[in-house]
Amino acid sequence: MRTTGSRYKEGSKEPIVTIDNDSAPRILFHGENFLLEDLPVGTRVIYPQQPIAGVANPVAAIRYALNHPEGMDPLHSMLEPGMKVTIAVDDISLPLPMMHRPDIREITLNIVCEMLADHGVDDVHIIIATSLHRRMTPKEIRRMVGDKVWNQYWPDQLYNHDACDPDNMIELGKTRHGELVETNLRAAESDLIIYSNINLVPMSGGHKSVAVGLCGYESLKAHHTPKSIVDSDSFMHPEKSALAHSVERIGRVCEENMKVFHIETVLNNRTFAGPLDFLMKNEDDFTEKDWLKFHSAKWALDKMPFAMRREIFMRTPAAYELIACYAGACDPAHKKTLDKSYKQYCVNVEGQADILISGITYISPYNVNSKALNPILVQVMALGYYYHMYRGRSLLKDGGVMIITHPCSDRFDSEHHPSYIEFFNRLLPETTDAYELEQKYQDEFAYNPSYIELYRHGHAYHGAHPFYMWYWGQRGREKIGEVIVVGADNKTVPEMLGWKCADTLTEAIAMGRSIMGASAQVSVLKHPPILITDVT
Amino acid sequence: MPNHREKTAAFYDVDGTLIKTNIVHSFAFYALRQPELLKSFLKITQTTLSIPLFVAADVISRKWFNEIFYKMYRGASEDRLVVLAEELFDKAIKPNLYARSKGLIEESRRSGCRQVLVTGALDFTVKPLARYLEVDDVIANRLEFVDGYANGKLTKPFIAGVTKSDVIRKYADENAIDLSQSYAYSDSYSDYPMLTVVGHPTAVNPDFRLRSVARAYHWPMINLN
């Protein structure tokens, strides 16, 4: 085993490791497996912050937030017998991976439902705010809300939002920018909406909860456009995100028409525990036991068929803990949430990178319990999410090289992503231009009755969803000079995505240096756990 | 809704796609209510070869199967068949409509498509269903009647297999429908030709062979049950 070669950035608590001659090799995610790579001397490896300690008593923290809300009266004081209340909760896209039981939504719902019952409020519906995501299965819902809520409310008073149900959607008006505001009818007709969310990254929560979670296609298409994505620098920085601005305008119209009490929960970044806890560490700090765990896991994963590897990862929950809960009016509660999120996720980094390396994992917000991270989702993880994990200034220079590690297999889940299959095989060979795709094909997919049927009654993402994923990557496509994939199991998928291939990371870095120069600054973003860079 | 939908259509196979029953069930319904049809059925099925013949005909060609099968309607009164069609719908077809068939058609109508049933069943048996589903047109097989009685023959073209694609093309020409933007729905591999003439085919409750084709061509697969 090599000796420790890490050092901490001067004047900062954040672990920025510069690779030295004697540094340990680094572990990178490679889909449902890992790569162990020796990085060139001088490479900067950026690690996430250590997890902030969870609150000692989550129930007490949530109760305190409900009784001491920001900018609103305490929840109990707004409750009256006979009133109509709708509780909305985030769907399975958060947190990633799924957290251990009890899910934070279960804890929150138990408290809120008990409070409602104590005040004689019986007309209560709980809506999973799926927006245009797939419907959650009964098993997934039960795991998320817990047995008590499940037994009391499923299925008549606990169900998935249906953005394509014309009888249960209502238009509330338009924003001053002309964006249509459409929401769930039951929510709109309620005396009070209680939205319970999970904040994993700064783009979650706030006005997005109601404005997106309970909206329909006609409303979402106002801001899920290539233009709004390109104008968002970045999604993780709401003040500089055109997408966030549009969502905020829509959210304000919602709040003018509906009384919404927000419950925002902030989780720490303790993504891995137990047999995978070595992934929370800097490799230079690994003990013999950590290396043994890693090599054992890698040996087993190498031997397993693909489906088994996926199943194992999907069934390994994260060890997230509640670090804060704020409640009340949207803006003041969300401001506190953002401050706490930034404390957990932001890492100060000096200077941009010419070459950015990132391992792409098995999971995204859109493939929980799916059979694969399909090529469109690999694209969105690389260009949409990982590239944009910054505030203010991008970590990768404009025109820089992004190196990702993923097999990029031509695998799709036909149950969850049927329209992705047509998008990838029929549209991308014709054009990869997001603006052209939006103009020519988005509505065709969105109004395809088969995709609507699969969204409403199966477990498929909405027909337009692959378009949004492609737009999500548009800014990255415009800013990044070259994307190089390491470890792709085929050349077709990377070519269709406009990417180059390399067999090894060394080869990819050499390719990157041939573009950016021999002295190119090479950085590795070591996530998950999630991190956001503050580049000075 | 987008304007380009104005000249599009959705074509639906019926038996096995929108309803669980098929033409055999319809005939059985009629046969039990019309002694002459029951006699015709018994006469044809007296030969031991008849059952394997039906099975073989269905496997080899749905068109051939229909041709043989509809001979059993020989001698049936047209008036009686039409009158009984309403009862057939109420007692045999409507209860066997797949749970979300009507919803799929409503969704398709909302998207601006003309709704067309294309079926190998007999026209008078499908009309009450078409009325119930509020579809715009029906393309179905028709029995030949002489002096008000069926002679056991179908008028041409027989609607089955590849002729479904021919009649869809003809319908599109006559109604200025853009087939590349249109939809087709079927449960059976025998309707593969019909599915390939439109831009947006969908396999509904597909049989094994159609499921394989749908996977290969990346067609959506839906289950209406």
**A369/A223 same-domain check:** no
Chain A residues in contact with B221 by the CB 8 A cut-off are: 414, 418
Residue A393 lies in a domain: yes
Q: What is the chain A residue with the closest CA to B108?
A: A449
Give me the helices (H) in A349-432, please. 375-379, 418-422
Q: Average pLDDT, stretch A181-209? A: 95
| pLDDT of A486 above 70 | yes
Q: Average pLDDT, stretch A339-359? A: 96
**B202/A452 Cβ within 8 A:** no
Q: Which helix (H) or strand (E) holds A177?
A: none
Q: What is the pLDDT of residue B78?
A: 87
Judge whether A348 is closer than 8 Å to chain B, CB to CB: no
Distance between first and last Cα of chain B:
28
- Give the residue with greater pLDDT, A110 vs B23: A110
Which one of A421, A443, A453 has the shortest CB-CB distance to B222? A453
**A451/B220 Cβ within 8 A:** yes
- CA–CA distance, A32 with A362 (Å, rounded to integer): 5
Q: Average pLDDT, stretch A144-158? A: 98
Chain A residues in contact with B133 by the CB 8 A cut-off are: none
Chain B residues in contact with A454 by the CB 8 A cut-off are: 220, 222
Residue pair A152/A168 in contact by the 8 Å Cβ criterion? no
Q: Reduce the secondary structure of A34-90 to three states and give it as a string.
A: EEEECCCCCCEEECCCCCCCCCCCHHHHHHHHHHCCECCCCHHHHCCCCCEEEEEEE
Q: What is the pLDDT of residue B74?
A: 82
Q: Convert the pLDDT of each residue in B102-115 to its tens digit.
A: 999 999 999 999 99
Judge whether B111 is closer than 8 Å to chain A, CB to CB: yes
**A64/A178 same-domain check:** yes
Judge whether B60 is closer than 8 Å to chain A, CB to CB: no
Q: Which residues of chain B have pLDDT under 70?
A: 1-6, 23-67
**A372/A475 same-domain check:** yes
Q: Residue B154 burial by CB count (10 A; 0-12/13-18/19+): exposed, middle or buried?
A: buried
Task: Report chain A's mean pLDDT, rounded to a whole number.
Answer: 95
**B103/A454 Cβ within 8 A:** no
- CA–CA distance, A459 with A448 (Å, rounded to integer): 16
Residue A517 lies in a domain: yes
Residue A340 lies in a domain: no
Chain B residues in contact with A166 by the CB 8 A cut-off are: 110
Q: DSSP 3-state assignment of A207?
A: coil
- CA–CA distance, A213 with A206 (Å, rounded to integer): 11
**A385/A503 same-domain check:** yes
**A237/A354 same-domain check:** no
**A246/A354 same-domain check:** no
**A368/A245 same-domain check:** no
Query: What backbone torsions phi and psi does residue A342 show, to the nearest 5 degrees?
Result: -60, -35
- CA–CA distance, A333 with A260 (Å, rounded to integer): 12
Chain B residues in contact with A447 by the CB 8 A cut-off are: 1-2, 5, 111-112
Q: Convert the pLDDT of each residue in A276-310 to its tens digit.
A: 999 999 999 999 999 999 999 999 999 999 999 99
Q: Average pLDDT, stretch A413-429? A: 96
**A361/A237 same-domain check:** no
Q: What is the pLDDT of residue A12?
A: 39
Q: Average pLDDT, stretch A305-320? A: 96
B:10-49 residues touching chain A, CB 8 A cutoff: 10
**A418/B100 Cβ within 8 A:** no
Question: Nearest to residue A488, comparing CAs of A405, A411, A364, A412?
Answer: A405
| pLDDT of A342 above 90 | yes
Domains of chain B, with CATH numbers? 3-222 (3.40.50.1000)
**B10/A457 Cβ within 8 A:** no
Q: What is the chain B residue with the closest CA to A420?
A: B218
Q: Average pLDDT, stretch A138-158? A: 98
Q: Average pLDDT, stretch A308-317? A: 96
**A421/B222 Cβ within 8 A:** no
Residue pair B53/B69 in contact by the 8 Å Cβ criterion? no
Residue A274 lies in a domain: no
Question: Which DSSP symbol is given to A29?
Answer: E
CA-based nearest distance B27→chain A, Å: 31
**A226/A361 same-domain check:** no
Provide the domain limits for residue A469: 350-535
Candidates A420, A450, A457, partner chain B, best to mutate (most B CBs within 10 A): A450
Instruction: Match 């709040």 to its residue by tokens.
Output: A255
Candidates B106, B202, B217, B225, partner chain A, best to mutate (most A CBs within 10 A): B202
Q: What is the pTM of this model?
A: 0.91
Q: Convert the pLDDT of each residue in A66-83 to its tens digit.
A: 999 999 999 999 999 999
Which one of A447, A450, A456 has the shortest CB-CB distance to B5? A447
**A418/B221 Cβ within 8 A:** yes
Judge whether A444 is closer than 8 Å to chain B, CB to CB: yes
Chain B residues in contact with A421 by the CB 8 A cut-off are: 218
Q: Reduce the secondary structure of A471-513 to three states and give it as a string.
A: HHCHHHHHHCCEEEEECCCCCHHHHHHCCEEECCHHHHHHHHH
Which one of B4, B103, B218 has the shortest CB-CB distance to A422? B218
**A209/A113 same-domain check:** yes
**B222/A422 Cβ within 8 A:** no
Chain B residues in contact with A453 by the CB 8 A cut-off are: 100, 103-104, 107, 222, 224
Among A267, A286, A308, identify where a domain stops. A267
A:148-167 residues touching chain B, CB 8 A cutoff: 164, 166
Q: Give the distance from CA A83 to its chain's centroid.
A: 34
- CA–CA distance, A24 with A2 (Å, rounded to integer): 6
CA-based nearest distance B41→chain A, Å: 39
A:166-185 residues touching chain B, CB 8 A cutoff: 166
CATH code for the domain of A189: 3.40.50.11440
CATH code for the domain of A490: 3.90.226.30
Count up the domains in chain A and report the number: 2
- CA–CA distance, B118 with B63 (Å, rounded to integer): 14
Q: What is the pLDDT of residue A208?
A: 96
Residue A477 lies in a domain: yes
Residue A101 lies in a domain: yes
Q: What is the chain A residue with the closest CA to B5?
A: A444
**A253/A389 same-domain check:** no
Q: What is the pLDDT of residue B54?
A: 60
Among A247, A267, A287, identify where a domain stops. A267
**B220/A419 Cβ within 8 A:** yes
Which one of A421, A456, A458 has the shortest CB-CB distance to B218? A421
Residue A50 lies in a domain: no
Judge whether B181 is closer than 8 Å to chain A, CB to CB: yes
Q: How many CB pairs under 8 A join A and B?
A: 54
Q: What is the pLDDT of residue A504?
A: 97
Q: What is the chain B residue with the closest CA to A418?
A: B220
Residue A465 lies in a domain: yes
Residue pair B75/B38 in contact by the 8 Å Cβ criterion? no
**A238/A362 same-domain check:** no
CA-based nearest distance B17→chain A, Å: 13
